[in-house]
């Protein structure tokens, strides 16, 4: 049974039993505790936490998930993977343990011919929490299994919580016995033998304190008992397809087959190679799905995870002996299989592939740089007579240069060296512990939404937003929230969060800043609205300062938006849509929006691009947008389903949360996007759009900043005045300014070069005199000179020049030049072959005198340089040179 059919049967089974089928959410959700959706229940978390009211009592989904804590173990076992799909069914206060057990057992054991999975009952073992006798009895009653087939396990295995105070409860897992070839009888900790593939969570407890997975307090029972289950799609797939593990199923093995073809190696022939094949299959699929949901490679957060996945895949192919570009060969194999379900992979392939392939190209360059650093490290080890690359050097290669440890191990072995893996692992563990500490600290940032939920429940419906049509509306006060929770009233000087039953104020979202304005109450109280947010779905909260009077629920409210600010922001938002469309026309469909901010009179727009945008394209985009501003196109909004919106050609943005009914904004028949923001009524109201420039904000992402309307006009007016002043000063017409400025710059460069020649000539003129003044230290000619005012390059030039002037012979020559410039010290040592033969090293000399000038340095035995910050000790440092030369040559200073 192929994976698509397993997925279809799962959803169909629960739809037949009254569940609403919910499409998979994006892998990216706005949750401060998570980089990615890592479990099937995550999109339903607000319902389980009581933050939002669920729109259905029963639901089912097949959710895309990514987990990365065990990324280093991927491939080493057949259980670890990063991307996976979790099939789940959920009950929000409807059925409980008996219903969950009945529904799961029915699907698992029903014959394949009747639409089930047909797993043999005699191989199945339910597990239960050892303090949940109710579950034991239900499993006996529903399945007819004898008591010895129901496995009791402790909190670690069979009690579930989110890791924070909130809902929790015992769970039951369904395990299948794969036979004695996978482990001993009765050893339920042997996961390969008794494989868990479905977990049923019975949310029944309210946890008041969670100190660890096995250490928490149960405050009482939940008012509504919920069900959350998760069935691993990949695990069921390899069971039903008769495969050994998830890497061999129909949606993953084609990548391994292609990798075998490219490398000439065979999966199953060598354990080390098998690990690499599995890493390739897993990471390529995960990377593709992440890019599909809008992630781009970067140096932190989600972008760093994606970068690691892509680079580990490329590195694994290299370790398999394939050094050409691998992703263009392999990723289409994953696309073709996963695209059978996720059709957007085909639709967005140009964007997905360009991001992935560009990252591979960048990593190939990184490998070149890392190899050069590695070569220096091995040379240093060998010169010192060692046989091991240190752990800190391996860690630096990994952490700073992105150089994988496996590649370091391989290359060290080729050089006859080992690597201090224990030291490397220790540093990696320290880094991981720091990351865990950061993550734990972030858990405290999860907003407690109980106060908002209390107000929302008292409303009984969503706050009515009237702001699309009006900037003034009447309503009534329905709730007041402060840091202490819901309060009955507020007075002058209080900073509060105010909820009205209807409001014209737009809450920040979709890149658009919130409205500001005032609210007047029937009793004369006046509030200044500074910000507007929507902390839970359906609730609009005004962050306000009470300027006068008293605020209390039930009072009538007259809400007035700052109209000029709203209009200015709306113009920016409409301009963003137009610029987005124009860039897609100019650069292709891959130029997809990756973020924006719409402020009064200006906006910033981030989009996917593999390199800098040419000036000509910026000019074309600006001209295109302003032509359509002049065309005065109508801007209109339509409500439709998501499916209708996509069919109409409307753009949907990554990471945005859309309901079943969406709002589509169109600028004429040209630009169409799903958008909940406010807009100008016609494009002509924008006046003029001026792009200020573009820059990189991360790998594969560019940012354009722009002005709109009056702000753009004032900018252009200032530019005009500046051009006029320059034209007057240079006595040329405005159109001749670029050529005139270019001529002036060229003349300045020529003059600077001439001045540099004269200055360098004066500097080197002293070389002969310095060479003549060399002192003899144990038969070595030594020059230690201070040349204040000379830059670092000048110091090096002078040192090499003086060394070249000293006679070549048995005596040897040592030159050290030190200089103090702008509070910084530069030191260069130059030593000839004869002096090196007598034991003098430029590297050792610089290292010896570096601490005296408050710095350090190093280099090769013939030339080394260093720096420092203490100019007052330059003379002392230079005086030390004679002592160091004498020590190196075994002479005594008399």
Residue whose C-alpha is closest to residue 446's, from 535, 338, 522, 355: 535
User: Cα(610)–Cα(591) distance, rounded to whole angstroms?
Assistant: 9
Cβ within 8 Å of residue 466, ≥6 positions away: 473, 502, 503, 504
CB distance 233 to 86 below 8 Å: yes
CB distance 316 to 282 below 8 Å: no
Residue whose C-alpha is closest to residue 109's, from 148, 61, 145, 60: 145
Length of the chain: 894
Cβ–Cβ contacts within 10 Å for residue 137, how many? 14
Which structure tokens are listed for 792?
């670092």
Residue whose C-alpha is closest to residue 375's, from 420, 418, 322, 412: 412
Residue whose C-alpha is closest to residue 22's, from 52, 51, 63: 63
User: Cα(797)–Cα(270) distance, rounded to whole angstroms?
Assistant: 56
Tell me the three-class secondary structure of 571-628, residue by residue: HHHHHHHHHHHHHHHHHCCCCCEEEEEEECCEEEEEEECCCCCCHHHHHHHHHHHHHH
171 is in an annotated binding site: no
Helices (runs of H) and strands (runs of E) counted in the chain: 25, 35
**525 burial via Cβ count (<10 Å: 0-12, 13-18, 19+):** buried
**4 burial via Cβ count (<10 Å: 0-12, 13-18, 19+):** middle
Q: Hey, is 458 helix, strand or coil?
A: helix
679 is in an annotated binding site: yes
Cα atoms found within 13 Å of the Cα of residue 13, Cβ hemisphere only: 27
Residue whose C-alpha is closest to residue 594's, from 583, 585, 602: 583
What DSSP string describes 62-131? EEEEE--TTGGGBTTBSS--SEEEEEEEEEESS--HHHHHHHHHHHHHS-GGGTS----GGGEEEEEETT
CA 103 to chain centre: 38
Tell me the three-class secondary structure of 285-306, residue by residue: HHHHHHHHCCCCCCCCHHHHHH
Residue whose C-alpha is closest to residue 473's, from 482, 464, 481: 464
Which structure tokens are listed for 776?
């003899």
Tell me the three-class secondary structure of 28-73, residue by residue: CCCCCCCCCCCCCCHHHHHHHCCCCCCCCCEEEEEEEEECCCCHHH
CB distance 421 to 391 below 8 Å: yes
CB distance 24 to 63 below 8 Å: yes
577 is in an annotated binding site: yes
Which structure tokens are listed for 307?
């970068």
> Phi and psi (nearest 5°) for 118?
65, 30
Please name the helix (run of DSSP H) or strand (run of DSSP E) that holds residue 629, with its range, or none: helix 615-630
> Phi and psi (nearest 5°) for 416?
75, 25
720 is in an annotated binding site: no
Q: Hey, is 696 helix, strand or coil?
A: strand
Residue whose C-alpha is closest to residue 816's, from 806, 802, 805: 802
Residue given tokens 């259905």 in the structure block: 56
Q: Residues marked as binding for Zn(2+)?
A: 573, 577, 675, 679
Q: Residues marked as binding?
A: 573, 577, 675, 679
């Amino acid at each position: 049974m192929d994976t698509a059919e397993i997925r279809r049967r799962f959803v169909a089974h629960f739809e037949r039993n009254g569940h609403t089928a919910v499409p998979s959410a994006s892998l990216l959700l706005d949750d401060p505790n998570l980089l990615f959706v890592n479990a099937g229940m995550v999109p339903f978390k607000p319902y389980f936490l009581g933050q939002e009211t669920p729109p259905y009592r029963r639901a089912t989904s097949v959710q895309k998930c990514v987990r990365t804590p065990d990324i280093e173990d991927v491939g080493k076992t057949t259980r670890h993977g990063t991307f996976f799909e979790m099939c789940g069914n959920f009950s929000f206060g409807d059925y409980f343990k008996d219903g969950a057990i009945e529904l799961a057992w029915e699907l698992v054991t029903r014959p394949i011919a009747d639409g089930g999975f047909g797993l043999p009952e005699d191989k199945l073992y339910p597990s239960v929490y050892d303090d949940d006798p109710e579950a034991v009895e239900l499993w006996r009653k529903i399945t007819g299994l004898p008591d010895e087939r129901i496995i009791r396990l402790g909190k670690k295995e069979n009690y579930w919580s989110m890791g924070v105070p909130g809902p929790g409860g015992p769970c039951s897992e369904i395990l299948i016995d794969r036979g004695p070839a996978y482990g001993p009888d009765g050893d339920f900790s042997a996961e390969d033998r008794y494989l868990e593939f479905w977990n049923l969570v019975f949310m029944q407890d309210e946890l008041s304190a969670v100190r660890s997975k096995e250490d928490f307090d149960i405050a009482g029972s939940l008012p509504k008992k919920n069900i959350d289950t998760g069935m691993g799609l990949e695990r069921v797939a390899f069971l039903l397809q008769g495969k050994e593990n998830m890497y061999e199923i129909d949606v993953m093995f084609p990548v391994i087959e292609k990798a075998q073809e490219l490398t000439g190696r065979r999966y199953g022939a060598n354990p080390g190679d098998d690990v690499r094949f599995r890493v390739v299959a897993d990471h390529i699929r995960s990377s593709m799905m992440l890019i599909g949901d809008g992630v781009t490679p970067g140096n932190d957060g989600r972008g760093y995870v994606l970068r690691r996945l892509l680079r580990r895949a490329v590195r694994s192919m290299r370790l398999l002996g394939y050094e050409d570009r691998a992703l263009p060969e392999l990723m289409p194999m994953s696309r073709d299989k996963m695209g059978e379900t996720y059709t957007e992979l085909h639709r967005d392939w140009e964007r997905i592939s360009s991001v992935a392939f560009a990252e591979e190209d960048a990593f190939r360059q990184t490998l070149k740089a890392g190899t050069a650093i590695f070569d220096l490290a091995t040379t240093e080890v060998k010169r010192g007579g060692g046989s091991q690359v240190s752990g800190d050097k391996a860690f630096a290669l990994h952490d700073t240069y992105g150089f994988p440890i496996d590649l370091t191990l391989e290359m060290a072995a080729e050089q006859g060296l080992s690597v201090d893996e224990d030291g490397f692992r220790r540093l990696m563990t320290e880094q991981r512990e720091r990351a865990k500490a950061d993550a734990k600290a972030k858990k405290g940032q999860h907003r407690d939404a109980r106060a908002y939920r209390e107000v929302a429940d008292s409303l009984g419906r969503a706050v009515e937003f009237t702001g699309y049509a009006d900037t003034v509306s009447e309503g009534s006060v329905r709730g007041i929230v402060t840091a202490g929770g819901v309060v009955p009233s507020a007075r002058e000087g209080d900073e509060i969060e105010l909820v009205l039953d209807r409001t014209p104020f737009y809450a920040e979202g979709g890149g658009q800043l919130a409205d500001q304005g005032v609210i007047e109450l029937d009793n004369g109280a006046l509030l200044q609205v500074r910000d507007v947010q929507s902390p839970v779905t359906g609730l609009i909260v005004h962050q306000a300062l009470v300027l006068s009077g008293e605020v209390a629920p039930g009072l009538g409210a007259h809400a007035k938006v700052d109209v000029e600010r709203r209009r200015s922001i709306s113009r920016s938002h409409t301009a963003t849509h137009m610029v987005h469309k124009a860039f897609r026309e100019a650069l292709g469909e891959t130029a997809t929006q990756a973020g924006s901010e719409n402020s009064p009179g200006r906006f910033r727009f981030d989009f996917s691009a593999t390199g800098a945008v040419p000036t000509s394209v910026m000019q074309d985009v600006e001209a295109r947008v302003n032509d359509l501003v002049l065309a005065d196109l109508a801007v209109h909004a339509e409500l439709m389903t998501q499916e209708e919106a996509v069919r109409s050609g409307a753009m949907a943005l990554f990471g945005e949360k859309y309901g079943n009914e969406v709002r589509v904004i169109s600028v004429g028949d040209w630009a169409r996007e799903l958008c909940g923001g406010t807009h100008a009524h016609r494009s002509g109201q924008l006046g003029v759009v001026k792009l200020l420039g573009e820059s990189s904000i991360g790998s594969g992402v560019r940012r354009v900043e722009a002005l709109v309307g009056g702000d753009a006009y004032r900018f252009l007016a200032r530019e005009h005045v500046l051009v006029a002043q320059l034209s007057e000063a240079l006595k040329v017409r405005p159109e001749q300014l670029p050529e005139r400025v270019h001529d002036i710059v060229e003349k300045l460069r020529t003059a600077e070069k001439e001045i540099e020649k004269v200055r360098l000539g004066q500097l080197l003129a002293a070389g002969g005199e310095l060479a003549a003044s060399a002192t003899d230290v144990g038969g070595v000619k030594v020059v230690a000179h201070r040349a204040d005012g000379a830059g670092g390059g000048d110091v090096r030039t002078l040192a090499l020049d003086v060394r070249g002037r000293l006679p070549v012979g048995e005596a040897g020559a040592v030159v050290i030049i030190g200089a103090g410039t702008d509070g910084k010290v530069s030191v260069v040592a130059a030593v000839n072959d004869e002096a090196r033969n007598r034991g003098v090293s430029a590297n050792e000399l610089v290292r010896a005198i570096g601490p005296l000038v408050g710095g350090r340095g190093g280099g090769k035995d013939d030339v080394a340089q260093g720096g420092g910050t203490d100019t007052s000790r330059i003379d002392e440092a230079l005086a030390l040179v004679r002592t160091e030369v004498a020590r190196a040559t075994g002479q005594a200073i008399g």
